[in-house]
Chains A and B, each alone.
Chain A
Amino acid sequence: MSYSTQTQAKAEAGEAAGKEFLAFTLGQEEYGIDILRVQEIRGYEPVTRIANAPDFIKGVVNLRGIIVPVVDMRIKFSLGTPTYDQFTVVIILNIAGRVMGMVVDSVSDVTTLSPGQVKPAPEMGTIFDSDYLIGLGTLSERMLILVDIDKLMSSSEMGLIEKIAA
């Protein structure tokens, strides 16, 4: 299942005819993810810690009856000291039927990027492995680093999903 969405995501990235991206910031950088993977955006609530999990996995929360893991991207990618207050934002993602939360510094807006505005990602320069990048989105003054969120979240590096469709 996740495999098919990945290939689908790739195919979409190829055409990307005026796709919408949700822009958020981590540290000094601005990122974009496919809006269709975003289920909702919430404030940060206290989580239940999961023993012996890597520290970027904050724990699990109750999202209207379902148990959802929450990862903190700031810890994962070592971007400053993560703080948790009423302004901390959690993006709830729905990837291949799995729901997960992602803590980021802030969410700015939703932007539409035409294929012409998406440039291939350079081989260096961002904290994300370029495997997980779709490209760079240019929008007048701004530059969005477009992340292949499906691939990133289902990667073994994140350890969120056990052995993808082996």
Chain B
Amino acid sequence: MTIDMSQFYQVFFDEADELLAEMEKLLLALDVSTPDSEDLNAIFRAAHSIKGGAATFAFNDITEVTHMLESLLDRIRKGEMALTSEHVEAFLVSKDILVMQMDGHHHGSSVDQDAVGSVCQRLKALSQGMLPETTDAVASPAPAPESVPEPARAEAAPIADADGNFHFRIELPEVPQRDVDALATELGLLGTISQEGLADKRVVFTLITSEGQDSIVAICSFVLDPDDLKITHGGAEGSPQAAAETSAEPEHADAKPSAEDPGYGIFEPENTGAASAPAVTAEVAKAEPAAEAKNFGRRASDKEGTSQESSSIRVGIEKVDQLINLVGELVITQAMIEQRIGVLDPIHHERLLNSVGQLTRNTRDLQEAVMSIRMMPMDYVFSRFPRMVRDLAGKLGKKVDFVTRGAATELDKGLIERIVDPLTHLVRNSVDHGIEMPEKRRAGGKSETGRLTLSAAHQGGNIVIEVSDDGGGLNRDRILAKAKQQGLDVSDTMPNADVWQLIFAPGFSTAEVVTDVSGRGVGMDVVKRNIAAMGGTVDIRSVPGAGTTIAISLPLTLAILDGMSVKVGEEVYILPLGYVIESLQPAAADVKEIAGQGKVVKIREEYLPLIPLYRIFDIEPGFTDPTQGIVVILEADGKKAALLVDSLVGQQQVVVKNLESNFRKVAGISGATILGDGGVSLILDVSALLRSSRQLNADPVFF
């Protein structure tokens, strides 16, 4: 091979992944009794594109599976075969097989050849089982796209010989011998190839293969311009049938008359004048409109492809992150300028101030635009669930309607990737434990089919993702009993919200039977931990007999957060605004000392522990008396506390910088940011602060 194809592998894998996901989505949405032909076509196109790509890279196993998939789909969409749920099932399984094969090629993971074989069998059986005269339809390669009228396609389609092979005559433009050899090797992988030279030093290949013409074009296009290529279909050897001329550029066709190889029955429309008999001309006339129609179809589809490609580009995430970093710097620099000009005389420097005002607005816009690059729709996550729910429900014998809402809601890419696992867990749980068996539902006066809703919505600076089912709800008594059995600290009078939180305890499961779906009790604690690590919270609402809703609240992005800057002594810290409920100066009467336990502050009929920041971080404070300073009421993990600081400085968006990239983790600090004056300010880890406050009095030193 003369070209290093591996550089294109990643592109192929990325695209194939997308296509497979799209295919699955369409398959799941398909109404078996009255399938939408547009959907069928889309599924077909996806299979076809993957096949083309796989053939180009000589991933023959993928080509094989997609080929069978494609043949079957082709028959269905042409109406030769009725779609059944069996088909859909087989398609879904073959999608999984393709994913496995793709992983095999991509990551070198193992491929279950038995499964591949059984899927091939299944597809074959399906395509043969229904109609006897399948051979040529199965082997028929991808016809032209949908814009081609039906009759034209039928005529333009190449004819297979008895073995389902096609005979192609491929006329190359003038290329170096090296390229000819490379092409011969590559094309040889598709089938049997022979090569002959023409008078003007050009080369003609004759290829007998079961592949479609697209595969040939795809291979050749790495070496030469497909437009210069002339591919003609021949029937089986000696077949009298004429083949359609499909060169994209008919003017190239005048190169050589077909007289040299009459055995393939090739007709050159432009060249037939003197050489051919009148009968042949008549046949050409018949073939020409077909060829033209097909050319038209191909062009149209090319155009469609181009417009799709140009609407998005693939960029490495590092580049985006670098861009975000740079814009972050720009914002800081801009803030610095703003601070510097604050002291200038507004009348004297009016124009400068105006310009800076403009700069400020532009910078903010730029920052927002750049941040939105990292944003991805939740659909990216949601789209994998319909399949899972369907399979799970089938396995468990339950009926579940799966509904998603707010799939267009956007979330930071980093978070999107990390939310997948916890969400998968929650959805599994809902199907397994939440939604009851059909009989039980009927007995309970509900419809047999359960309803599982996955929704995403923005709420302030957060995104709230909810997994909601209309199942039996959580069983309070059982959770409490289980908690007691496990020696957890519970009482029968606990509020519901606290009881529900118990299911996040490690090793906690109330499922009576451990299934392969869920019930081992590992998971909910992991879910909670993962979400907490993303700066999010999990909330459970449950009504017995009516269902359970698990709400995950996440910050929109990790890179920027709304912060409140607070001052203690000479030091400024940033509090993530999401944790801040309110801030106030308590009255002396509201501050109570608990002997040996530190202080509490009474706020809105609640006693909250007072965390003096100066003590935790060992700072020389302005005030040690809460009634002189400010207390900020914080809430994290469902716990509240009052943080004592000297004063509030302001509220601002800050770009979060990692402290650990050059240093190590610091207890009580979640990151750092750069302030308008270029100095560094540390961002407080509120959850850790609140946790530490419980041990604070026993051990005043943080470490």
- How many Å lie between the Cα of A51 and that of B692 in the bound state? 15
Assess the A48–B618 pair: CB atoms within 8 A: no
Q: Which residue of A lies closest to B330 (CB)?
A: A65
Is A52 an interface position by the 8 A CB rule? yes
Is A110 an interface position by the 8 A CB rule? no
Assess the B618–A62 pair: CB atoms within 8 A: no
What number of residue pairs across chains A and B have CB atoms under 8 A from each other? 74
From B616, B618, B659, B701, A67 is in contact (CB under 8 Å) with: B659
Assess the B680–A65 pair: CB atoms within 8 A: no
Q: Which residue of B lies closest to A162 (CB)?
A: B664
Assess the B680–A51 pair: CB atoms within 8 A: no
In the complex where A51-B617, A60-B680, A162-B664 touch, is A67 in contact with B328 (Cβ < 8 A)? no
Assess the B662–A52 pair: CB atoms within 8 A: no
Is A66 an interface position by the 8 A CB rule? yes
Is B657 an interface position by the 8 A CB rule? yes
- How many Å lie between the Cα of A47 and that of B659 in the bound state? 14
Q: In the complex, how many angstroms separate the beta carbon of A94 from the nearest chain B beta carbon?
A: 10
- B669 partner residues in chain A, CB cutoff 8 A: 50-51
In the complex where A65-B674, A67-B672 touch, is A46 in contact with B679 (Cβ < 8 A)? yes
- B658 partner residues in chain A, CB cutoff 8 A: 67
* Residues of B contacting A: mostly: loop
- How many Å lie between the Cα of A65 and that of B678 in the bound state? 9
Q: Which residue of A lies closest to B613 (CB)?
A: A51
Assess the A52–B618 pair: CB atoms within 8 A: yes
Number of B residues, CB within 8 Å of A = 32
**Most chain A CB neighbours (cut-off 10 Å) among B325, B664, B667:** B664
Is B583 an interface position by the 8 A CB rule? no
Q: In the complex, how many angstroms separate the beta carbon of B384 from the nearest chain A beta carbon?
A: 34
- How many Å lie between the Cα of A66 and that of B664 in the bound state? 14
- How many Å lie between the Cα of A64 and that of B616 in the bound state? 30
From A48, A99, A100, B682 is in contact (CB under 8 Å) with: A48
In the complex where A52-B701, A66-B657 touch, is A159 in contact with B664 (Cβ < 8 A)? yes
- A161 partner residues in chain B, CB cutoff 8 A: 664
Is B254 an interface position by the 8 A CB rule? no
Contact with B along A33-66 (1 / 0, CB 8 A): 0000000000000111111110000011110111
Assess the A60–B672 pair: CB atoms within 8 A: yes
- How many Å lie between the Cα of A98 and that of B617 in the bound state? 26
Contact with A along B647-680 (1 / 0, CB 8 A): 0000000000111111111111100101000111
Number of A residues, CB within 8 Å of B = 25
- A152 partner residues in chain B, CB cutoff 8 A: none
Q: In the complex, how many angstroms separate the beta carbon of A34 from the nearest chain B beta carbon?
A: 19
- B666 partner residues in chain A, CB cutoff 8 A: 50-53
Is A69 an interface position by the 8 A CB rule? yes
- How many Å lie between the Cα of A162 and that of B663 in the bound state? 8
Is A26 an interface position by the 8 A CB rule? no
Assess the A69–B328 pair: CB atoms within 8 A: no
Assess the B663–A67 pair: CB atoms within 8 A: yes
Is B703 an interface position by the 8 A CB rule? yes
- How many Å lie between the Cα of A66 and that of B321 in the bound state? 13
- A52 partner residues in chain B, CB cutoff 8 A: 617-618, 666-667, 701-703
Is A121 an interface position by the 8 A CB rule? no
Assess the B329–A160 pair: CB atoms within 8 A: no
- How many Å lie between the Cα of A160 and that of B662 in the bound state? 8
Q: In the complex, how many angstroms separate the beta carbon of B572 from the nearest chain A beta carbon?
A: 8
In the complex where A51-B616, A52-B701, A53-B666 touch, is A66 in contact with B679 (Cβ < 8 A)? no
In the complex where A60-B672, A67-B658, A67-B672 touch, is A160 in contact with B663 (Cβ < 8 A)? yes
Q: Which residue of B lies closest to A48 (CB)?
A: B680
Is B571 an interface position by the 8 A CB rule? yes
Is A68 an interface position by the 8 A CB rule? yes
- A49 partner residues in chain B, CB cutoff 8 A: 571
- How many Å lie between the Cα of A14 and that of B234 in the bound state? 72
Q: In the complex, how many angstroms separate the beta carbon of A13 from the nearest chain B beta carbon?
A: 25
List residues 103-137 of chain A with CB under 8 A from any CB of chain B.
none
From A51, A62, A65, A69, B663 is in contact (CB under 8 Å) with: A69
- A47 partner residues in chain B, CB cutoff 8 A: 680
**Most chain B CB neighbours (cut-off 10 Å) among A60, A160, A162:** A60
- B681 partner residues in chain A, CB cutoff 8 A: 48
From A64, A98, A99, B329 is in contact (CB under 8 Å) with: A64
Q: Which residue of A lies closest to B665 (CB)?
A: A162
Is B275 an interface position by the 8 A CB rule? no
Contact with A along B594-629 (1 / 0, CB 8 A): 000000000000000000000011110000000000
**Most chain A CB neighbours (cut-off 10 Å) among B329, B665, B666, B667:** B666
- B668 partner residues in chain A, CB cutoff 8 A: 51
- How many Å lie between the Cα of A100 and that of B659 in the bound state? 12
Assess the B680–A61 pair: CB atoms within 8 A: yes
Assess the A62–B617 pair: CB atoms within 8 A: no
**Ranked 10 nearest A-B pairs via Cβ:** A51-B617, A162-B664, A48-B680, A69-B663, A65-B329, A67-B672, A62-B674, A67-B657, A99-B662, A62-B680
Q: A48-B679, A51-B669 are in contact. List 10 more A-B contacts (CB 8 A).
A: A49-B571, A50-B663, A51-B617, A52-B617, A53-B666, A60-B682, A64-B329, A65-B657, A69-B663, A159-B664
22 example contacts (A-B, Cβ-Cβ < 8 A) are as follows A46-B679, A48-B681, A50-B666, A51-B617, A51-B702, A53-B666, A59-B680, A60-B672, A64-B329, A65-B328, A65-B332, A65-B657, A67-B657, A67-B658, A67-B672, A67-B680, A69-B662, A98-B661, A100-B662, A159-B664, A162-B660, A162-B664
